[in-house]
Each structure stands twice: as C-alpha cells, then as structure tokens.
Structure 1
C-alpha cells in the first residue's frame, strides 16, 4: 500500500512543512488537563504554502490542554503594502486586532496580547508609530519584536527574509528600546546563540526595558556548529543574561529546523517523553539560571508544528516541569506570561 503521508519538506519561509497525517499517527492522553496555560508565543498567517489563521490555532488550542489566552508575535503577516516600509507593519496589528476580537468569546482568548513590529532604529519616528500600534490594537498591544536572528552560515535561517547582521549592536536600536520602555512596552528578541552577547549588551544598556529572549536563546544544532561545543557557549551566555533582572526567557522553539533535532525525518512523530528527554538539558539550564518567575513555556506554533503536535508539545513541557513546586508550575505555564504581557489567566 502506498503511503499517503508526504515526505518532510521546507516551506518558502524556511519552516518545516506541517504534515497533519504524519502528526496524527501519534496521540496521547492529556497530562494535567486542568492546569491553566497562557501560550505567550504563536503566529497567525496566510502564506501561499501554509495557512494558519484563527480557526487553525483554536483547533490546536482546543485539543485538551487548558489554554486560557495567547500572545501573537509578529511574523510579517498581512502587511499593508500600500504604505511606506516603516508603516507596513501597522497592517499586521490591524489584522491581528480583528482576529483577537473574533476570539473574545472563544474558550481560548487568542491574541489577547499583540507583539508587533516597529523598526527601533527609526529615531524620532519610533514614538508616533508605537502610538499608532497601541491605538489600533484597542488595549492589546504589548510590545515589539524586530528582525534580529542572523548567522553567517547560509543554511542557518528561520525567517522569510534574511536580515542584515544588525540591528542589535546599533546605538539607534538601543535608543528605540528606551522609547519602548518609556511607553511601558516590552521587547521580544529572537537571536541565535552566537548573538547572545549582543542581546546582553542591549539588556545592560537599557535596563528599564523588559527584554524577552525567544526560544531558549536559539542554540543552533546545524553544521557548521557542533552540539557539544554549542551547549557550553550557549549555557555561559544564558547564565550571563540571567544576571540582568530585566531579562525573561521563553522556553520553547526547539522544534525548528535550526535546532537540529530532526524529529520530522522519522517515520513516526515524537512522543512527549522523547521530546522531554531531548530538550531537558536546554530547558532545565534556562529554569536554573532564570528561575520559574522569569521563564514561560511557549508553543511557537505553527513553526514547531512541523515536528510535533500541540497536545504532545504541552505534555512534554509538563513532563519537564514535574520537579517544580506548585507555585513554580503556575509561573512557568501562566504566571510569568500574565505578568510580563499584562494578561489575565
């Protein structure tokens, strides 16, 4: 019998293509189904080769875990291409506000927080742009993420567009971060592990901004990097970042291609036990360094859906938090996200 499951492939935006039939081969009972969760990092988009809009997210969020609310993170979705470049991301915030309004009566208050894009190197133009995003979002706009993940190796990519090596080291970026902090907004940063020294420099230069490191600080698992060498350097950088009280850590994003785990290349999708054991060194290092009150589990869907399903992902996180106290578990799964993004559980 010919298999109806397509082989693994990459989308045009350098994400592992989602194969629902492959994911459906493995199902698990939901662990701790009554544990409240805020998913602080997911995307919504309608690409030519992948559709992941509100119905798709709510379908994933409704698979058994108690997902109370979520935070949308910028992803170049629904930009207004009739505007000048610096104003185009306003279209994303406008679109996501409509999505959030549509989800207000759903079991999961999807996109209750919105993190958009404003180029923080724009100088005086940063503030009026931020004010527009805040006004459009109707009380939901929580912060900004710029395109910052970069590596010299051409195969290390996780974005639709490959940004230049900046803007993290630029003085203008730090000035923009100060303006962000003055408005009570947060700064999400997605960077690979060789860039964490730059992230640290921003955190120290702008101690008034709440800086949220995405995806465990981006430990790369692909050539030319070797996992053993990467872990030692990454751990040292994570420990240094934890010394800045204004820095938070998102636990997740490890099922991206750049992480190097390659579960998507196996005949069967991974179980939560397999994921937990693979990710334990990274997750436990982050929690040990930052403490539960400064860490939050994240789905990074639909990007991580190329390697694992939503219920299995959150089961893996729950396994990884088994040794945590009740208060620590609350922080990891909802409390830190609620405090940092100003959301109710």
Structure 2
C-alpha cells in the first residue's frame, strides 16, 4: 500500500505564524507552521484539534474549512470543547463547529471529568448527531471512564494514541494492557494506534511491536486504525519512519486487513467522503 492510499487518522495542522491558538505548544520545537503540503500524498487526513485556548476552536474550524476548500484537506475534523464551560456554551460551540461539513466529533485534551453530569450529557449529544468522542486517557485514568462509557452505549468512542503508554518497563506494560483490555470490552470503542513515537520516544518497529500487536489482539483488526500524530511524533523520527514502522509490524497481514488498518476503518469511522 502506497502513501497515496493511506488515510491518516490523526494529524495536526497549525499555522502559529498567523494564528496563535496553541499557547501550550509555544516552547516546543514542533511549534511551526504545518499544512497539508507538508505531508506525503494521502487518501485522507483526520485533523485533531490541539487548541489550548478552547474558545478559539470555532476560529480554527473556520480556518480549516477555508484550507479544505483550497487543498481538499483535512478530510475530517475532530474539534474540542472547553470542559469548564456551561452546557449551553458547550452546545453552542459544538453547533458552530458542526457548520463545517468536515466536523466529525471532539476530543478534550485535559480537564475533562468523565464522572461529571456534563460528560454524560456530552456523550448523549454526540450520539444523537452521529459524532465521535476521541478519548484521551492514560492507563491510570482509564477506570474513571468505564462507568460513563457503560452508560453511553450509543456513543462511538475512539481511544487515542493506543491508550497513551507511559513507559516500556514490564510492569507499566502490564498496567497499560489491563487498562486497554477494559476498554476493548466495549463494542462501541475503537482503537487509534497513534502517538507511540511521542509516548515511547522511538519509531523502532521492534520496540513498538508489542504495543501495536496488543491493540490488534484486544480490539481486532476491524476496530483499529493507524494515525501518524504528526508533527508531534516527529520528536521520535520522520513521517516515513512512523508509517514505515506500522507497515513493518503488520507486514504478515493479508492485503485486506492491511487496507482496513491503513485506510478503510478510519474512512468508515470518520465518514470520509
């Protein structure tokens, strides 16, 4: 499968030279303009918002729509909300973001309490509109999400960054596997295998293999797909390194399963055109 057949389920576009919507990233080397032309040819990109001033997300959505009109990318957008806002403000923000035909759901990077009434209300609102909740959590925090997921069977959840491993030591791997397995038990949770370069500091296929193969074992091929997490994963290697590692790890799979993992599943989940 060539890059042009890849649907990258997790990319970030930003243009801090013009739009300073990401203050949390200012001190990092990745805080440079990143636009569709900085990626190899692809069948699709799912942009995931990284705004750290959530009230800027509607401005970002409108910028992305203009970019989409000029370049055809992003193919789909996962926005965000301010978890500290009132429900009326959250709903208003969601509806404003949804004015874009590319809008597919949200993630909340920090400050989200899955036990709060707002969480259940959000999950039900997303379900009613066929929108996705991209789930950001670390192994130690997964258990806090389980009751809310159980109460939200109609909501589609996508676990980001393979559950965000926090170390390669055997005990950390065991804790991560247990946490991911608890999420895999819900049929409405998919797994986005992404962010491993960021989490583990490497794109070496041999070091990533246990994590990737565990996700595939627990969720199955039909509920997994790959994302580059670029430019963030550039801290560990090039774009070709990241995608190449995932391809190496899955090289023994049949062509149909590889197509699902690298294109078809993400296309279906995010309803790409």
Same fold? TM cut 0.5 = yes
Q: Do the aligned residues in 1 keep the contact of 2:79 with 2:106 (CA within 8 Å)?
A: yes
Structure 2 residue corresponding to 1:227, chosen from 166, 169, 173: 169
The match for 2:197 is: 255
Q: Deviation of residue 200 (structure 1)?
A: 2.6
- What's 1:60 paired with? 39
Offset at residue 87 of structure 1 (A): 4.1
Q: Which ranges in structure 1 are unaligned for 5 or more consecutive residues?
A: 1-31, 80-85, 105-109, 149-162, 264-269
Matched, 1:287 2:234: no
Helix, strand or coil: the match of 1:308? coil
The residue that corresponds to 1:19 in the other structure is: none
Give the equivalent residue in structure 1 for 2:61: 93
Which runs of structure 1 show a deviation greater than 4 angstroms over 4 or more consecutive aligned residues?
none
1:293-332 Cα shifts (integer Å, max 9, x gaps): 1101110000001111011211111111112222211110
- Structure 2: distance between partners of 1:296 and 1:33: 16
- 1:238 equivalent to 2:180? Answer yes
Deviation at 1:118, TM superposition (A): 2.0
- Equivalent position of 2:243 in the other structure: 314
Structure 1 match to 2:152? 206
Structure 2 unaligned segments of length 5 or more: list them: 17-25
Q: Which residue of 2 aligns with 1:75?
A: 50
Q: CA RMSD in A?
A: 2.0
Aligned-partner Cα distance in 2 for 1:308–1:298: 14
> For residues 127 and 182 of structure 1, what CA distance do their matches in structure 2 show?
13
Contact 1:38-1:333 within 8 A present in 2 as well: yes
For residues 42-89 of structure 1, what are the alpha-carbon distances to aligned partners after superposition, in whole Å with 9 as ceiling and x for unaligned? 1112345621331xx423324xxxx21101001117x6xxxxxx6432
Relative to structure 1, the CA distance from residue 233 to residue 129 in structure 2 (aligned partners, 3 Å threshold; closer, same or farther) is: same
Max radius of gyration: which structure? Answer: 1
| 1: CA distance, partners of 2:102 / 2:200 | 35
Q: Could you tell me how far apart the structure 2 residues matched to 1:71 and 1:260 are?
A: 23
**Secondary structure of the corresponding residue to residue 200 of structure 1:** helix
Q: Is the 8 A contact 1:241 1:247 kept in 2?
A: yes
Question: For the residues of structure 2 that align with 1:41 and 1:146, how far apart are their CA atoms?
Answer: 14
**Is the contact made by 2:10 and 2:227 (CA closer than 8 Å) also made in structure 1?**
yes
Match of 2:231 in 1: 302
Residues 197 and 242 of structure 2 are in contact (CA less than 8 Å); yes or no, is this contact kept in structure 1? Answer: no
- Secondary structure of the 1:337 match is helix
Task: Give the TM-score of the pair, scaled to structure 2.
Answer: 0.88
Aligned residues: 260
- Whole-Å separation in 2 of the counterparts to 1:276 and 1:199: 30
**CA contact 1:189–1:214 (8 Å) conserved in 2:** yes
Q: In the aligned structure 2, how far is the partner of 1:76 from the partner of 1:194?
A: 24
1:42 paired to 2:11: yes
Q: Are the aligned partners of 1:89 and 1:117 in contact in 2 as well (CA < 8 Å)? A: yes
